[in-house]
Structures are given as structure tokens and as C-alpha cells.
Structure 1
Amino acid sequence: MNVIKTLSILLVDDESRFRQGLKTLLSFYDINDSLSLEVVGEAETQKEALNIAAQLSPDLILLDLELAGGDGITTLVKLKEISYAGKVLVLSGHQEDDWIFRAMQVGAAGYVFKTRLATQLFDAINTVLKSEVYLPAEVASGFFRSFQTSSDSCLQIRRQLHLTEREQEVLNWLTQGASNEEIAKQLYVTVATVKAHLTSIFEKLEVTSRTQAIVAALKLGLIHA
């Protein structure tokens, strides 16, 4: 007899009617005989989303990029900071390459157009559950063009800011939600050295906190998830 596993899902969108429609759509999905879908929470603001994610640790978050009290990109950053270990699938009305690229940069496991939910969501959920990245076929080429452009500009910006290679390494670990102790362990340096690098990074990016540093690095194209 098969043991049925429940996939817990958090819906994050500031429109209640959309969330209700999404729940209805999910109720029709039967991933396979051993997995069921259950919506365990709903949020319409960034603060609510982070609180519920911290309390319930859902397996999957379906996230809109435009929220009351904070955008979806920043929400993705903050989810890393609270060490959220599940998958995040972005559901958005934005189909521009830049929006898609920024979401994937900071940890989204996939990106689905709201106008294509009926045809894309099932495949997207199946894909991210396999720890693979989901991108609609029609935007994949644009995403990789953005990736190449960002890679080229990243080096130029690093030189302009005078970021050292070690500072870039610290910044990369920072975006993954690593603590000072974890960064020190990964780079084989002391915690004091990590703190010194962070101080230098904050000064060069003209920020005062870890979150601000991550968001600034994202806007400048310095980080890639």
C-alpha cells in the first residue's frame, strides 16, 4: 500500500480572488498516486509571507512579484535570510526578460506567467519537485541572453567598485543566507576576517545591512543564484 505524501504549499499574492482561483486550480491536480497537494497558508504581504514561511516551513511557495509592503524580489532575498529550505515558484504577470532574470538570480526555482497558469503550473510544480529549474520555453533564450550580459557587466562593475575577489566570494555566500560563521568555514578564514570583509563591502555598496547589500548587489548585477 502506497504512503501518500502531502506537499505543503504557501500562496503569496495580494489579490484574494487570484489566491482563491489558484486553490481551485491546485485542487484539480493529482501529481501522482503517492503525492497530494495541500495549501497550508495564504499571505498578501511580504511580512505575512515571511512569518508563515518561518512557522510552517512549507515545501513550496507560490510567489507573486508585486506585494503590499514589499516586492517579490526582496521577499526571495529575505527567505534566504531566514534559511527557508523549500522551493519558490514565481507566478507573475511580468513577462519581461529583466524580471525573470532578477527572480532567478535570487533563488526562484521557476517562473510561470499568470496568463499561462492552466498550461504551465502543473509542469512547473513537477519540474521544481525534481530539483530542476522551470522556465517557459518561450523565455529561456531571453534569460540566457540576460545572463551573458549580466556576466559581462558584473566584472566591469566589480572593477569600478574596487571589490576584491574575496569580497565577491563573501557577497555570494551572503546572498545564499550564510551566517558569518558559515562563510568563515567555507572560505577557511576567521569570523573576524569575514566581518572585516562585510564592513568593506557595505562601504563600497553604500549600505548598512546585509539585506541592503544583497538588494544593491542584485540591482548592480553582482550576484547570481
Structure 2
Amino acid sequence: MQLTVYRIVQEAMTNTLKHAGAGTRVDLAIDIGADRLGIQVRDTGRTVRSGRRHDGQGLLGMRERVALYGGHLSAGPAPGGGWTVAATLELLMDIRMPGMDGIEATRRIVATGARSRVLVLTTFDLDEYVHAALRSGASGFLVKDARPDELLAGIRAVAGGDAVIAPALTRRLLDEFARYGSAPTDAPRVDRLTEREREILVAIGEGWTNGEIAARLVLSESTVKTHVGRVLAKTGARDRVQAVIFAYDLGLARPSVR
């Protein structure tokens, strides 16, 4: 993360030296929040006639670095003249951290109502940690022995609004919810669902993918995606993981034998 921030700032200021002209002022701001990190580099220099600086390998490299953290980067003319490069990087959450553990930090981040997503990455694959992290609102849980490609895929999935759980933990997690699901206190949210949407919720709770749901209910995948979106909206679930928890809490789903 530190190296990524350094390289983004370095490249942005290098571009300023190349394109902004003499006497240019550069302001750098770094904002570190509970769930994300923001960077802004703004200069007062000139822009090229097209209104754009050179969109070459430097800017491409910055975009790729930011994308690895599920973030986004923008670059363009600043109001009043000059040029601004701004980036936001999502942060990963660990279980054990100084000052506050990852479970409590996740709970507080989610409680703010901000459109942020948390992916827990830890060496601890204990069931109680997985259970607590997802209950607190995390959108994913991976262990640190995950391969680099698995980690990047997990980050991209969570950043894109999906959810991810380490494969080795999935069966244990479903069994845990089946045994210790809480009392059904959210029946009104289920009452909002149509009969088809309730079927979709049950299928999500059983761990079926959109493709499997489509085949099972004889629907197109695009129709399933629409239904899934409506189920998430009506139940207030942030993602499929939260929908699974919701289904298990209400006793609508149990682990399926696949």
C-alpha cells in the first residue's frame, strides 16, 4: 500500500514537471480513513490544447495500481486551471490489529452507512472469526495463504459489489449457520418478497450461483440477476454473503449436498 501511494504521487509529480511549465505550484493531500485512503495531487500549471495531459504508460500504471486495491483514479483539468490527479484505494481488514480488532472496526465502518466494502484477510481461519466478520458486515473473508491471483480476484469481486469466502471455509460456514442461526426476527422483510424472489433467496442461501439458479428455476441468467438485485434491495442485504446470513437466520436455507 505504501509503495503504491508513493508511486502514484511520484508519477503524478513527474507528469507535472513534464507538462505544467515553470513556476507551477503543486499541492499534495493524503486522507487516511477507516476503510479507504485518498490521494490528490493538484498543480496550477498549463494543460495541453486538447485539455488533456499525455495519457501514456505513467497514467496507465497508476490506474493499474489503484485497480489492484479495488479503487479508482481520475485525472483531468482542475477548476480554475491546472491539473488534478485523484485516487481512492480500498483497505483490507485484518482480525488482530493494534488499538481495535478487525471485527469491531468492520462493524463501525458498516454502521456509518458509507458505501464501503470490507474484505478480511487474516492468518486466522477459525470459524468464530469468519462468523463474526460476516455478521459485522464484511463482504469477504480470505486467509493469507491465498495465492496472489486468488487475492486479486477477491479484491476485484468485493470492489465490484460481489462477495467472496475462502473455498475451504465455505462448507464450515454453512454448517455453522445451520446449527446456530438466530431467531427469525426479520419476517417483515421476507413478506416484501414475491414468491419468485423468495425462491431466489433460498437458492442464494444454499450457495447456488446465478447460473445454477437459472438452470434450476428455468430462467435466463439476466432474469436471475434482476431478481437477485431485488432480493438484496428488499432485505437490506449488502451482498450475497449478507443474503446467505439472512436466509439462515430465518431458517429458509440449510446446507445443500452438492
Q: Give the alignment's TM-score, normalised by structure 2.
A: 0.38
* Greater relative contact order, per chain length (Cα 8 Å cut-off, separation 6+): 1
Structure with the bigger percentage of helix:
1
Q: Give the alignment's TM-score, normalised by structure 1.
A: 0.43
